[in-house]
Amino acid sequence: MAHPSLAELIARDGVIRAPGVWDGLSARIAQQAGFPAVCASGFAIAAALGMPDAEVFTATEGVDAVRKIREACEVPIIADIDTGYGNAINAQRTAASMRRAGVSAVFMEDQVSPKRCPICVGDPVEVTPLPEAIGKVRAAKEGLGEDVLLIARTDAVGAEALERAEAYVAAGADLIMPVSKTFKTLEEWHRCHELTSVPLVASLTAWTWVEREFTDDAMAQAGIKIAMVATHGILAAATAIRDSFTRLAAGEPLPDVSGSYMEHTDFVDMIGFPEMEERQRAYLPAAVEV
């Protein structure tokens, strides 16, 4: 079954929800759950590598993760490219690599490199001077071409964020993504949409005010078209794994621990064994009739 493109989804009524995924398994589960798009989350990819979201993994590792996600699902991918991994030329090359990996959109932030995840640090993060940030937006958009959307994320706050949003759209950004700390009210989000005249993207990060207050109706009124649920999946997975491993390491009997898992046969079906068996049989020699 063909899946709608990201542009087709944006043209429809309603908010597009895209969960954060980090590998083939999480991408496959997201598609089977019915999500129309996925977010290749830098937070989740870093966590899957055992690292904090501090731009420690390389652009190559990010692109490699996206390739694995692309192989496992057919829905549009919105990829996190952090700061573009350096200056404007680095951002352009990263964007082009993501385009070749099969993404439908990327989002790039205006922090200095290496970035600091704003929900993980208490202090305000440092943003790149506006002229330099504008150049990086232009470069990234050129690397993406016309068919892949550029989401410009700003980590500035208040009036400065509004100024940057307008400038990024003028430089070629297709959508604007304020972070949860950018504005304090939905009215400010609505003002950003009015000023830029482009759709907004929100990350409904777990444990933040946007997760609690951004209902579908509220987002529609504020001009938010894409709602990324970037951290929920990796938190759910880590919680389940930590619980299981802690119980096993403490000596709890295996059957007691595995009793809360999905059935093995359910996992076999979910991961695609029946379809793979059918494909394998299709390439075997035909049975010889006696």
Mean pLDDT of the chain: 94
Within 10 angstroms of residue 231's Cβ, the number of other Cβ atoms is 25
User: CA 267 to CA 275: how far, in whole Å?
Assistant: 13
**Which of 67, 36, 62 is closest to 51 using CA atoms?**
62
Q: Read off the tokens for 125.
A: 């993060």
Q: Is residue 40 within 8 Å of residue 105, measured between CB atoms?
A: no
The pTM for the full model equals 0.94
pLDDT number for residue 124: 78
**Which of 33, 50, 38 is closest to 6 using CA atoms?**
38
45, 117, 123, 275 from 24: Cα distances, Å: 11, 24, 34, 16
**Which of 69, 5, 12, 18 is closest to 202 using CA atoms?**
18
Contacts of 283 (CB under 8 A, 6+ apart): none
**Which of 242, 240, 228 is closest to 43 using CA atoms?**
228
Categorize the per-residue pLDDT at 101 as very low, low, confident or very high, splitting at 50, 70 and 90: very high
- Residue 174, classified by CB atoms within 10 Å of its CB into exposed (0-12), middle (13-18) or buried (19+), is buried
pLDDT in tens, 201-242: 999 988 888 889 999 999 999 999 999 999 999 999 999 999
Categorize the per-residue pLDDT at 119 as very low, low, confident or very high, splitting at 50, 70 and 90: low
pLDDT number for residue 217: 95
Sorted by where each begins, the domain ranges of the chain are 6-237, 255-284
Per the listing, tokens 């504005």 go with 183
More confident residue, 114 or 216: 216
Q: b/e string for 100-125 if b means 16 or more Cβ within 10 A?
A: ebbbbbbbbbbbbeebbbbeeeeeeb
**Which of 246, 240, 242, 233 is closest to 260 using CA atoms?**
240
Return the beta strands (E) in the chain as ranges: 16-21, 38-40, 77-80, 105-109, 149-154, 175-178, 200-203, 224-229
Q: Is residue 106 within 8 Å of residue 95, measured between CB atoms?
A: yes
pLDDT value at 36 more than 90: yes
pLDDT in tens, 170-186: 999 999 999 988 999 99
Q: Cα 192 to the chain's mean position, in Å?
A: 22
Q: Read off the tokens for 88.
A: 């404007």
Q: Cα 25 to the chain's mean position, in Å?
A: 15
Q: Is residue 61 within 8 Å of residue 50, measured between CB atoms?
A: no
Q: Which CATH class is domain 6-237?
A: alpha beta
11, 151, 239, 244 from 254: Cα distances, Å: 50, 46, 18, 10
pLDDT value at 286 more than 80: no
Categorize the per-residue pLDDT at 287 as very low, low, confident or very high, splitting at 50, 70 and 90: low
- Residue 206, classified by CB atoms within 10 Å of its CB into exposed (0-12), middle (13-18) or buried (19+), is middle
Within 10 angstroms of residue 183's Cβ, the number of other Cβ atoms is 21
SS3 state at 224 = strand
pLDDT number for residue 2: 85
